[in-house]
A and B are shown apart, each in its own frame.
Chain A
């Protein structure tokens, strides 16, 4: 048997001790880990992008879309998005001269071109008439149905013409005329004519509205485009897009700032109570219990009244204060509970043993460890604050009228819901989307930040 020769190499370790114990993955801080988990959650990530987009929409939007939200466009009232904006320049209005009237042989006929400046009509004299009454309607004249708005009672049987200049729009009108007797009773069947007037504007008016330049006044007959409203206009002819952007400022300001303010107040209150402990803690928490017991929305209204300064202000500030006064106890309880819990943790005792002072304990252990829970609370507080603002504005207790907010826009939109649903739909959709994305983001953050509260899905 041959003797094996052993060399020092045979005694070298197969693996170095270091390699065996080295970590297979890089060490991650709490926040890096949370960020990775959030990134893996597609719903939360998309929500985060939408939140960023919404913030850009409200903060940067008004720089690009500079129309003032309170400017009224009287030519375009309650226009849905994509409405026809054509308008033709016309001569200034000239009174109708009697000589140019051509009375038709029978029935009713238009005289001249019908425009939104004036619609002129004449009809054949009716036998036995003492006078005539002219009606205007948006719906076709049918037997047995109302003729519409009576425009004029003519008391002269020879005057068989009429000029309508009353608030004309570029839409279908149905005119009807009936003969009347001496006491104004209708004595004949209606004779009618339907008309779609052309939208016109005088050159002077066009310059004043800013759709034509004053240096080169447009010639008569020039087609122009009226002001663009990408999302249409509301019932006063105000630009919806601009109002949505400015309304977002109110809604998101309250939605983000109010939770921040009351969460900070809650942290301070809860931390003080948790630290001091004993009878002061008992007393402070008992008080917080009472504030929690106040019915929230009722007291939002009552406090909103109390903190209002009076007429002429937007009411945002009062709403903010009322929200802070009512909502701080939730965070205070949470933070106090967390602090009481963390105080008993092993690592705090270890830090104390090693001589850490209170400042170090608070900054290094307490705050970072409560931060996750607080951030989650904050994200869920945003949608509820936006809801509250919308609710208050909807019942007319929120933001005062000239200032737009999504809630007050819904309140105005609901009145014209049947005819022009876009006035309600746009702000309602924005509120819903905002609340939805903040809820989803909150879910994602909770899953990423706080293992104990992780939802079971």
Chain B
């Protein structure tokens, strides 16, 4: 177990290094440079700025400086907001995204597991047909459309009620978080429902379920102890990629609902070609996702004792 965890951690570090290198190369390839903004700079100012950011050095030398700083955990200074550290930006905006993401994941996992189990139990009956139709819809409608429609309906509902049931946009209270988290988790929930359904269908006819039933166990106990616990396993495996999907899906939801998260900041940085912020955020997100996948994998060994981690 510990050996496996250690091995995965080393692999993860190499992966983060690969992500950082790929980001660096991509930023070197990108046309234009961060200093050629709207303001025309004189030669001297330009040279000074280049020296400040180390852009006058050879790309290879820049790469090693960048990697050295990365090892120290320093992601550099923003190009567009010259007195802000990328670390500070992440520290300020990431918690917002993280709260939203955690809520969305919880919502998606709980909803997906329950709905999936429900559809399998009522196979080919009304609940199954209705839920599976919604699931296909949830997979096919892009998140920004869902977000827009949710916001539009919220405006109309608030209008109809005459008071504000839930805020339409912004951030701060629990009420602000509910609808964005719901929207963000929706496509993942649809995906998990489908997965849970097929995994439940496989288990419904399993021998140990029949044995449990023949022993006279109550149906509720068979469902919770025998079916659910076994059917949940494939859902746990895809939680890692699901977290990745929810993190990047957050960009759109944060944009539509005006939530001051890291996703929205990243999109802004990309539009303003703020290279250090783009690089810093990408490496940070990459490292975060790698870590999540490792945790989920370790979790899997704990959930399913049959899996030997080595």
Interface residues in chain A, defined as those with a beta carbon under 8 Å from any beta carbon in chain B: 290, 293-299, 301-303, 305-310, 383, 387, 390-391, 394-397, 410-411, 414, 417-418, 421, 424, 428, 431-433, 435-436, 439-440, 455-456
Residue pair A293, B252 in contact (C-beta under 8 Å):
no
In the complex, B244 has a CB within 8 A of chain A: yes
Known: A299-B282, A421-B152, A439-B136. A391 touches B29 (CB 8 A): no
Partner of A296, one of B18, B25, B26, B248: B248
A418 CB contact (under 8 Å) in B14, B22, B140, B155 = B155
Given A436-B136, A456-B198, A308-B152 contact (CB < 8 Å) = no
CB contact between A417 and one of B31, B139, B148, B247 (< 8 Å): that residue: B148
| Tally of contact residues, B, Cβ under 8 A | 47
Whether B22 lies near A305 (C-beta < 8 A) is: no
A301 touches B270 (CB 8 A): yes
> What are the residues of chain B within 8 A of A294 when measuring CB–CB?
18-19, 22, 286
- Chain A residues, CB < 8 A from B256: 414
Q: Which of B279-306 contact A (CB under 8 A)?
A: 282, 285-286, 289-290
Q: Which residues of A contact B206 (CB under 8 A)?
A: none
* Interface hub of B15, B248, B273 (most chain A Cβ within 10 A): B248
Chain B residues with Cβ under 8 A from A428's Cβ?
141-142, 145, 148
Interface residues of B (CB under 8 A from A): 14-15, 18-19, 22-23, 25-27, 29-32, 136-137, 139-145, 148, 151-152, 155, 198, 201-202, 244, 247-248, 251-252, 255-256, 266-267, 270-271, 273, 278, 282, 285-286, 289-290
Given A302-B282, A394-B252, the answer on whether A309 and B31 have CB atoms closer than 8 Å is: yes
- Closest B residue to A390 by beta carbon equals B142
Which among A296, A306, A307, A387 has the highest number of chain B CB atoms within 10 Å?
A306
Report which residue of B23, B137, B247, B271 has the largest number of chain A beta carbons within 10 angstroms of its beta carbon. Answer: B23
Q: Considering residues B23, B142, B198, which has the most beta carbons from chain A within 10 angstroms of its beta carbon?
A: B142
Beta-carbon nearest neighbor of B202 in chain A: A456
**Chain A, Cβ-Cβ closest to B156:** A418
Q: In the bound complex, what is the Cα–Cα distance between A411 and B252 (angstroms)?
A: 11
CB of A295 within 8 A of CB of B148, answer no
Cβ-neighbour of A306 out of B19, B27, B248 (below 8 A):
B27
Q: A293-B18, A294-B286, A306-B29 are in contact. Are A435 and B198 (CB under 8 A)?
A: no
CB contact between B26 and one of A306, A387, A417 (< 8 Å): that residue: A306
Closest residue of B by beta carbon distance from A424 = B148
B31 adjacent to A290 (CB under 8 Å): no
B145, A431: Cβ atoms closer than 8 Å: yes
A290-B15, A293-B18, A410-B145 are known; give 6 further A-B pairs, CB within 8 A.
Answer: A290-B14, A302-B22, A391-B252, A410-B144, A414-B148, A456-B201
A391 vs B147: C-alpha distance in the bound complex, in angstroms? 13
Q: B267 contacts which of A383, A396, A432, A435 (Cβ < 8 Å)?
A: A396
Asked if B248 and A295 make an inter-chain contact with CB atoms under 8 angstroms apart, the answer reads yes
**In the complex, which residue of chain A has the Cβ closest to the Cβ of B293?**
A293
Partner among B30, B144, B244, B278 whose Cβ is within 8 Å of the Cβ of A295: B244
Complex Cα spacing A295 to B141, Å: 22
Task: List the A residue with the shortest CB-CB distance to B26.
Answer: A306
A396: chain B residues within 8 A (beta carbon): 267, 271
Q: Compute how far the CA of A294 lies from the CA of B137 in the bound complex, rounded to whole angstroms.
A: 28
A293 to B155, CA, bound (A): 40
- Min Cβ gap B15→A in Å is 5
A298 CA to B279 CA, complexed, in Å: 10
Could you tell me the distance in whole angstroms from the C-beta of B97 to the nearest C-beta in chain A? 13
Nearest residue, chain B, Cβ from A300: B248
A410 to B141, CA, bound (A): 12
Kindly list the 7 A-B residue pairs having the minimum CB-CB distance in the complex, ordered from nearest: A306-B26, A436-B140, A297-B248, A306-B29, A428-B145, A435-B140, A290-B18
Contact across chains for A303 and B26 when beta carbons are under 8 A apart = yes
Which of B155, B202, B270, B286 is the most central at the interface, judged by chain A CB atoms within 10 Å of its CB? B270
Given A395-B251, A421-B152, A456-B202: A295 and B286 within 8 A (CB)?
A: yes
